[in-house]
Chains A and B, each alone.
Chain A
Amino acid sequence: MGLLSQSVSITRYRVQGQLEEPVLDTIVLALNRHAVLDIDNDAAEKSCGWTSFENPFAPDFEGSNHLFGSYLVFSLRVDKKSIPAKILKKHFTIEETKRLAASGRRFFSRNEKKLVKEEVLHRLSLRIPATPHIYDLIWNYEGGKLWFFSNLKAANEELETLFSESFNLSLIRMFPYTAAEMDADLSDSDRDRLNQISPVILTGQT
């Protein structure tokens, strides 16, 4: 979901840790190193990496393309190929029939069938283009905050993994406990009280 869309979903994160100076160069290096790879002419079924916010189908992190004021803006792109089961079955059956006829046999073993299926899958993966899923993010490096424009569990998990691999920084999702722990200016005794609370009961008279 694009950050310029009419309606957006936002998951909030805190970023902990420091990058090597000069920070912007370190970020560009990491973005380039983990930029999304095109898999349309490849047998890979999935590709996940960073891409440019303004031009998500041609990642370019040189210059200041990813800088908006003091914010870093770029995107996570997850390309996935999904081959419909019926198409896979059709091509598998055609291939199996052809091979059985060529070999003069009446059936294949389970392992042989598995090999045929893998070959068919590989061939189809080369022909079927990947569907791109693009999720924008805004990173306030100085403030240690990041907004990710999706609430989807799978997309957030991809972000957390790739972010950690790329920048070697901790990305902490803000949900009730982490928000209370990290964002509510609690003292040690407050933290003890927080860790001891149990759900409130609002039923019954006062």
Chain B
Amino acid sequence: MLDVAIAYNRYGFLGNEFLTWLWYTLENHSAQLAEIDADLSALEIGNRMVLENRRNEGLETITIKGDDAGLEEGLLALKKGALVTEMNLLYRSGDNTWQFNLKGESLNISSLKTPETAGTETKEDIEGAVLEKIFLYEKVILFVEGAFRHFVGLRISENWDKKIIIQMKKWINKTS
């Protein structure tokens, strides 16, 4: 395995490609995501997306914010060569919704809000509350891990260059 610090910088793009692929997949092949995670009812883009274009020796950052924000600017940025570097996601399972930010470079999860849990009034409640929270956090973490594992499998497969990139380019050019 490569030195961790070198690997972090050298393969940061892999996480950004993952988020870009995730957006493409949830727009075009959402059934694939349900195959990765049987508990998933729906995955949606939430209220924030950040894209970065590092080409031409400069850095252009595009941030799209707002509950009903259109993602046309994001698609335009993809067309110009940007990748998604951070996105807010809504993970739905049954009647429950989890909302969180996922960062490409680190795969860190932030601002994670789980479905509401019962309050803790007594010391005995705390153990139950902790175990319930662990269960709820695990849902999102397992999804992220499963989706990333699936993406890596695709990324190093022959299909990536022969099929998936072509389809992603078609999506980007068709919709913007």
Mark out the residues of chain A between 46 and 75 whose CB falls within 8 Å of any chain B CB in the assembled complex: 53-54, 68-69, 71, 73
CB distance A54 to B104 under 8 Å?
Answer: no
**Cα separation A172 to B166 with both chains bound (whole Å):** 35
Q: List 18 A-B contacts (CB under 8 A).
A: A3-B133, A4-B126, A4-B129, A11-B108, A68-B130, A151-B108, A174-B107, A175-B12, A175-B105, A176-B12, A176-B104, A176-B106, A179-B149, A180-B14, A183-B145, A185-B149, A202-B168, A205-B169
- Cβ 8 A contact of A10, one of B78, B109, B168: B109
Partner of B81 from A4, A68, A180, A203 at Cβ < 8 Å: A203
Identify the A interface with B (CB < 8 A): 3-4, 6-12, 53-54, 68-69, 71, 73, 138, 147, 151, 172-181, 183-186, 190, 193-195, 197, 199-206
Selected contact of B149 from candidates A71, A147, A183, A200, CB within 8 Å: A183
**Are B172's CB and A6's CB within 8 A?**
no
* B59 within 8 Å of A (CB atoms): no
Of B3-11, B34-42, B64-72, which binds chain A? Answer: B3-11
* CB–CB B12/A203 < 8 A: no
Closest residue of chain B to A192 (Cβ to Cβ) is: B156
- Judge whether B156 and A193 touch: CB under 8 Å: yes
Contact A177 B10 (CB under 8 A): yes
What's the Cα separation between A196 and B163 when bound, in Å? 19
Chain A residues lying within 8 Å of B141, measured Cβ to Cβ, are 10, 12, 147
Task: Give Cα A174 to B111, complex, Å.
Answer: 18
Establish whether residues B169 and A177, one from each chain, have CB atoms under 8 Å apart when the complex forms: no
Query: Which residue of chain A is the closest to B145 with respect to CB atoms?
Result: A183
Q: How far is the CB of A16 from chain B (nearest CB, A)?
A: 11
B148→A179 contact, CB < 8 A? yes
Query: Residue B29 at the A interface, CB < 8 A?
Result: no
- Residues in A whose Cβ lies below 8 Å from that of B133: 3-4
**CB-based contact A73/B130 at 8 Å:** yes
* Residue in chain B with minimal CB distance to A8: B112
Asked whether A190 lies within 8 Å of B156 as measured between CB atoms, the reply is yes
Per the bound structure, the CA–CA distance linking A200 and B55 in Å amounts to 12
Docked-complex contact B106 and A10, CB < 8 angstroms? no
- By a CB distance below 8 angstroms, the chain B residues around A176 are 11-12, 14-15, 18, 104-107, 148
Q: How far is the CB of B74 from chain A (nearest CB, A)?
A: 12
What residues of chain A lie closer than 8 Å to B172, measured between beta carbons?
Answer: 202
Tell which of A69, A151, A179, A194 touches B110, judged by Cβ atoms closer than 8 Å: A151
